Amino acid sequence: MLDQKLSDLAQNLKMSLGDKVSRVEISSRTTPVANFIEASLTLKSDARDYTHLAERVEQSIRGADFSFSDEAILTEANKIKTSFLKNIEKPHMFGIYNAHEMAVDGFEAVLTSYESDRFYQAAKELAGFKIQSDPVIIIQQPEHKSEQKEKSAGLVAKLFEGKNGAATLIVKQNPASNLVAIHYLFKHKAPLQSKYGKDAAKILHDCFGQRMKSEENKKISNRFGLSFTVNDNPYIPMDDIYLHPDFGYIRAEGLNDDIEGLIRYLNEQMLNFIPSEQEFKNAKVKLSGSNPMMMGRGDPAKKKFEKLYKKEVYEDPPYPEGPEELTYTKLLQFAREYFQPANMVISVVSSAAPEKIHSWFANFKGQLVTGEPAPYTQTIKLHDKPVTIEEEGGGNRSYIFWGFAKQIDSADKPALKALSLILRDKIVFDIREKQGMAYRISAGIELKGDRALFYVKQGTRPQNVDKLIPQYSRFFKLNILDGLNNDDLQKSLSMYLGRMMFRRLSSINQAFYLGTSYYFHNDINYDLEFLDALKKVTLTDVRLAAQKYLHVENPVQVIVR
């Protein structure tokens, strides 16, 4: 009710200010400390009388009437009480909505908080509301175009390829940044682990993390405000984008007060790092534990399903897993090849100039590496006949994978990614929202190298399996795009690009994408250029890609009931 009054107030204020403003918003903000009314105005370029405008806004809010009629209060109270009673019939939702109030004030307080007299009491307080304090006013001026050009020019990344045992260095300068973000990408994890031992990189990274947390190192690293990420949790979906069989990484972030000192300190730590036997033992104990509550890890049927479908969908890796039991001696041998400058791609994002950063890495060198293997990525398997696998899972939930693979042209990848977004939205909405036959479901097109996997993967109740199987193929026919218009396409693209750009806001994630673009594509701009290409995809491009590839051939079907 208050928000509606504030919205009406904003509309009246915009009309009274005329062509001086292009947007007016007034809203309330509640916090445990105090409650606020906040007005936000976007001024037109020729509006310069800020003092007069601020006075008009203040007068408008100070003179506002925040009283409500008894009838309006009763209507709102009844509406909210109905919603409250509906939630009581859904115990899990009731708990989610009210857990905090229950913990602080008790269950009875939650029940009484929805009684009608409480609304009248709150309305009475608002009716006499007067602003007593002076407002806080913040004005943000537009930047001059020349400054914008200068800043954008400073955000170009520069590559310094490693030679004579030096690390490959990628530097991106952001003059406005107060952080130094350094991403160390360690190459060829798969062949080296195959040679020395399973999970050697994970254990070695944990050892380095222990070393950096030692009291001696903390005294130094704290001066630079350094924080480290040495391993990610594979059971957290957002972390999972960084995990890969053929590279490991360490992330370091700190203050830009003394970038040279920070880099020299990290160089010294990296070059002289030899894990101790105690650090090795600590890491093995720590990483041998498991959490059965996360990501269905305790579900035998799901574990069986994941193993079965991946075996049919992806080609066997060229490097088998190394020995199960990693010894301390093997870890040291692994570290000599893996944890050394020539095996690193280092990405730095900071306010310092690329040439300066490069000079501070001048002595960061290791042993010369020759005959490096090509980077390894998972390869989608092409089938020459349909595959059907069905096994018992023995659980309360069944799991289904259905899909087919195609060879693709590299130039079609942006259009196929856009088609994937459309397919995902349609398939997930139909199966989960309309039919209610999925709790977790993923669908669309997975792109890897010169191959694409068109798929649906989901968990469901056992009784739904036979209803779902015949449906999947209809989602991968050209008529799935009937009625699709440009607005639908732009909505799907914008939502995806918004998520992707959000991931790339932080300096350390920018460093990550620079490093992986170089390692896998030999082009530090690959990630950025793919997103730019995706922005330019048209409805015609999507339809042409569908005509070219959207034909079911030799489908793979894996069911664990």
Average pLDDT of the residues in 71-80? 84
Q: How far is CA 325 from CA 283, 322, 413, in A?
A: 13, 9, 41
pLDDT of residue 154: 47
- More confident call, 192 vs 46: 192
Tokens 């999507």 identify what position?
A: 542
Local structure of residue 166 (DSSP, 8 states)? B
pLDDT of 146 higher than 70:
no
Q: Among residues 186, 190, 207, which one has the least CA distance to residue 287?
A: 207
Average pLDDT of the residues in 445-465? 95
Burial of residue 556, with CB atoms counted within 10 A of its CB: 0-12 exposed, 13-18 middle, 19 or more buried: buried
Average pLDDT of the residues in 3-8? 88
pLDDT of 396 higher than 50:
yes
Q: How confident is the model at residue 334 (pLDDT cuts 50, 70, 90)?
A: very high
* pTM confidence score: 0.75
pLDDT of residue 91: 67
Q: How confident is the model at residue 232 (pLDDT cuts 50, 70, 90)?
A: confident
Cβ atoms < 10 Å from Cβ of 268: 13
Q: Among residues 446, 530, 539, which one has the least CA distance to residue 485?
A: 539
pLDDT of 150 higher than 70:
no
Report the distance separating Cα 490 and Cα 502, nearest Å. Answer: 18
Local structure of residue 412 (DSSP, 8 states)? G
Report the distance separating Cα 400 and Cα 391, nearest Å. Answer: 11
Provide DSSP, 45-86. TT---HHHHHHHHHHHHHT------HHHHHHHHHHHHHHHHH
Q: How confident is the model at residue 295 (pLDDT cuts 50, 70, 90)?
A: very low
Q: How confident is the model at residue 296 (pLDDT cuts 50, 70, 90)?
A: very low
Half-sphere exposure in the Cβ direction for 368 (13 Å, CA): 3
Report the distance separating Cα 444 and Cα 353, nearest Å. Answer: 42
Average pLDDT of the residues in 170-179? 92
Report the distance separating Cα 263 and Cα 105, nearest Å. Answer: 51
